[in-house]
Structure formats: C-alpha cells, structure tokens
A and B are shown apart, each in its own frame.
Chain A
Amino acid sequence: MAEDVRMETKDLSVYYGKHPGVRGVSLPVHDREITALIGPSGCGKTTFLRALNRMHDLNPIVRVEGQVLLDGEDIYDPGVDPVLIRRRVGMVFQRPTPFPTMNIFENVVAGLRLAGVKDRKQLQQAAERALKMAALWDEVKDRLHQPAVGLSGGQQQRLSIARALAVEPEVLLMDEPTSALDPVSTQAIEDLLTRLKENVTIVIVTHNMQQAARVSDRTAFFLDGELIEFGRTEQVFTNPKDPRTEAYITGRFG
C-alpha cells in the first residue's frame, strides 16, 4: 500500500457566516487509497469534503481558512485557478446529477468538452473507458444517444461517476454516493470503488459505517466540526483510541 500523501489539510476551518462548520482539521489523504469520512449528521464531513476542490467558492457566505495541499501546493493560494483544481480533483454528489438536455454519451464527455477535446474518436474512447470503469458500459453501450434521465437511479449515479472519471482526475471526492440508492446499486458502486483505487485517490463521505469498514483503507471520524480520530480503518473500527469514536461506531449515538 502506497504511503505517499496526495492531499493534506492543515488547520482547515470552514465558516458559514460566523458559524464554524469545520474547525482546525489537519488530515492527510494517502495516494491511491480510499479515505472514509464518517460521523453523525451535521458533523462537518461534507463541508470538509467540499473544501478539497474549492466548491465553497460558489457560496459567497462561506469562508475557508487554513491550507489544503495538493501535491504540496496550497489550492487556496491567490494565484491558483479553482477551475484547474476541479479538473484534478473530481466530485460525485449525493444525488445523481445527469444533465437532462444531454444524452448518455454527452454526459460522460461533458468534462472533456470543457477541456477542449473535439476529436470524435478520442471522445468515444474516453467515454467507453470511463463507462467501463464505472461498470455501466454493458448496460448503456447500445443506447449512448438516448437521454440520460431515462436511466435508473443507480445507473444515473454510475453515470455521474463515469463523468467524473472521464477527465481522469487525480483525486475523486464522493459525498455519500450511495445514500440515495438501493442495495444492489450500492453493491455495484462499492465494488467499483475497490477497483478504482488502483488509479485514483478517493475520499468518500459516508453515513454508513459498514460501508466505511468494507471499502476504505483509512477512516476519519468527525464530530461537531472537529476531527476526533484518524487512522487505518481496521484500527479505528476494532480498537478506537477515543471513547467518542467507540461510542459512535458501536451505535450509541448518531
């Protein structure tokens, strides 16, 4: 297992107006591993995740303090273009977000079109590769030019993953990607994650502790905007150091 740190936050705080959603979190994200962020609702894990690709820039009332290093460089440095950061750090949201006016193919290559790729062949290859990685290719290969909203919820979420993968991000952020899905689709996406980490570094927010235990290499437990415990998933789940972590994973609250 690679030990290199791909991303790292240093004393990261995120404020909604005056209210701190995340407080002073320092957390390393290891290369080509799956890092799970767990914790009860409102603990700041999604807020933390969205700071990693500067999604908070879109909301003027949100203020981010501290550092987020990507390969050693702070993505919040004044000279850094958030657009370029988001190409390197992709994101999959809680609910599938297919673009309704585009067909399946156009949805997958939307990010490539942004990057200026025009070559038809190149787009087709990228779409096929991304759809195969997202385990969706066999289901949609004969209807690539049909509207994406005709897919089932699970397929739409895998399409969203394929779309994020098509631009070949270095890091993939996933915000509870299976919370709106049925068990079969959830299983498909979990299998997918394990295969994906050969190429991509993944940070996943999940409500589902079994999911974190099943898929992740490392787990971070958040409570009230603070990072309570971080370690190898096995250790966090079998031998938590902090009593609050133990209380949470044994189901005493949350």
Chain B
Amino acid sequence: MPNWLYQRLGDRLFAAVVVLLALGVVAAALAIVAVLYFGGREAFATFGFFGFVLGRVWDAVRGQFGAWPPLLGTLITSAAALSLAFFPALSTALFVVEFSSGRLRETVAYLIDLLAALPSVVYGLWGIFVLVPLVRDHLELPLFTWAAAHAPALLPILGPPTGIGLLSATLVLALMIVPYASALARDALELVPQSQREAMYALGATRWEVIRRVVIPYARAGIFSGVVLALARALGETMAVTMLIGNSVNLPYTLFGPASTMASLIANEFTEAEDDLHLSALIAVGFVLLLIALVTNLIATWMLRRMSHGEGRR
C-alpha cells in the first residue's frame, strides 16, 4: 500500500473504529435503560410510579407489588456498610502509603487488591460458614439475651438472633467494598507530592499533623471518589447479600432479622416469577435501582466538582 494511502486511510479507519465503539457502548447503556423501563411499564401502570416505589407490601401471591421494602433494605445496607468500611479503608490506604515501605507496602497493597478480586459468591460462602455462626453466637445471642433480661423494649429492634439477616449481610458488604474505597484512596494519597509533606514538616509538624492537614486534604477528591465507587458497588451487590440477608420483604426490618435489597430480591425471585405482573415488578425494581445509582452518581459528580474547586488551577 502506498504511504499516502496508508496514512490517510489509517487515520480515518482509526477514527471510525473509535467513534463506532464509543457509540456502541452508549447505545448499549441506553438499550438497558429502555429494556428496564419498558419491561417494568406494566408494574408502573398498575400501581403508579410513586405507588410502586413507595408501596410497602410486596406479595407475589396476592399480586401486590411495592418496592419500598427492598428499596429501604438497599439504602440501609449500603449506608451502613459504607460507614463501617470508610475508616478501615482510609486506614489501610494510609498505612500503605504513609507508614510502610518496600516489601511490606507491596504485600499489604496486593492483599487489599486481592479482596476486590474475590468473587462475590465466595464472600457469600464465607459469610454463611464463618461469619454467620460467629455473629450469631458471639454478637447476636449475647445481645439478645441481655436485652431480654434488661431492656425488653429493644427486642423488636433487634429481631431474631439467627445470624442470617441484615447485620451479617451488612458486615460482609462492608468487607467487600473496603478494597474499592481503599484502592482509590491509596492512589490519591500516592499522588500527594512529597514537597507538600516536606513543607508541612518544615513548619514543625508531626507525622499525624502532616497527614491530617496536608495529605488527606490534598487527596480528598480521590478519597471521595473511592467512597462513591464503594457505594455504587454496595448498591448493586447481589450474590453475597442474597446468600446472607434472609430475603424477607416484610416490614418492619430488624437489626438481626431477615430483610432484602433490590438486587437480592431480583436475584431471588426472578426464576420463580410466574405471572407477567410479578416479572414486570421485578424489572421495575431494576429500573428503580438504576435511578438510584444514577442520582448517587450525579450528586457525587457535583460534590467532587465543588471539592476540587480552586485546586491546582489558576
């Protein structure tokens, strides 16, 4: 092929491939939204959008579908898991970047990354065989018997100490999202220039003061990105949660008792959905989950923009 032809054609071909692939991804995303919306249309039409989202009863036998119980379950587990995971994630990132070096640093970082690579179902199995008995025998039972003897008013909040339920699911979820928050926080902390640290040390700062006043503020946008990614993971996490949460859509939820999230409900009932309305309701739950993820991302983007305001630009 002559050189001029190669150059002109190659350039155009490359541009065409890039544009096509990019458009393809966008189209696929839009197609998913469309499928979820049209698939769930019957449920939305039957109960009304807000009637469906805020409906407190999910009863497949009576054909009554309200997404509020799994919605609540998703919000509770995600928020609780995130608050449990945040400080351990930040601490591990700080440990790796600020407190260790050489082989130790690499090993710890690698192990944390490995946590992210473990399949969800493995977390579920570990939860069932290790965490559930542990939580049941050493946390839930003692608390329950204590409450039964001293504070019976707490019993309806605690719920049955079976080990399978909201608490175990949240704990495993927290563990699962730590590596995501941690990895991004670590990247952000590593990007803090050494000159920033030295400038603070030179003013007579201790290591803790350098971390608190310079390192974390400098990396805050990245740390926050990790939190958002972890939250997105938590919102959509399905397998491990389904295995551990007990899958009950009956409100009110209790701390120890069974509950469900939107993702776990879909996974749990999809194969058993007999009639069209049930199937449509499950797809509609998927649509609502998508909306929540979307809103979370929008808020995060907005906060991130505010956070990086004035940083590094003139």
Contact = CB atoms under 8 A, between A and B. Distances in A.
Where chain B touches its partner, the secondary structure class is helix
Given A95-B195, A99-B196, A110-B213, A150 B203 contact: no
A110 B210 CA distance: 11
B311 A97 contact: no
Interface in B296-314: 310-314
Interface string B198-222: 1111111110010001100110100
Contacts of B250: none
A93 B198 contact: yes
B101 interface: yes
B314 A150 contact: yes
A149 interface: yes
A164 B203 contact: yes
B206 A83 contact: yes
Given A55-B202, A114-B203, A164-B202, A97 B196 contact: yes
B220 A91 contact: no
B203 A149 contact: no
A99 B214 CA distance: 7
B202 A101 contact: no
B218 A100 contact: yes
B197 interface: yes
Interface string A39-64: 00000000000000101001010000
A163 interface: yes
Interface string B217-233: 11010000000000000
Contact of A58 (B198, B203, B204, B220): B198
A93 B206 CA distance: 19
Interface residues on A, range: 20 to 34
Nearest to A97: B199
Contacts, number: 77
B203 A90 contact: yes
Give the most central of B213, B311, B313: most A CB within 10 Å. Answer: B213
B202 A99 contact: no
A101 B202 CA distance: 18
A149 B310 CA distance: 7
A90 to B, nearest CB: 6
B311 A114 contact: no
Contacts of B205: 83, 86, 114
A113 B41 CA distance: 59
A233 to B, nearest CB: 26
A85 to B, nearest CB: 8
Contacts of B206: 83
Given A83-B205, A86-B201, A87-B203, A93 B217 contact: no
B205 to A, nearest CB: 5
Contacts of B213: 99, 110, 113-114
Nearest 10 pairs of A and B residues by beta carbon:
A87-B204, A111-B203, A147-B310, A97-B199, A101-B217, A91-B202, A86-B204, A100-B311, A97-B195, A114-B205
Interface of A: 53, 55, 58, 60, 83-84, 86-87, 90-91, 93, 95, 97, 99-102, 110-111, 113-115, 146-147, 149-150, 160, 163-164, 167
Interface of B: 101, 195-206, 209, 213-214, 217-218, 220, 310-314
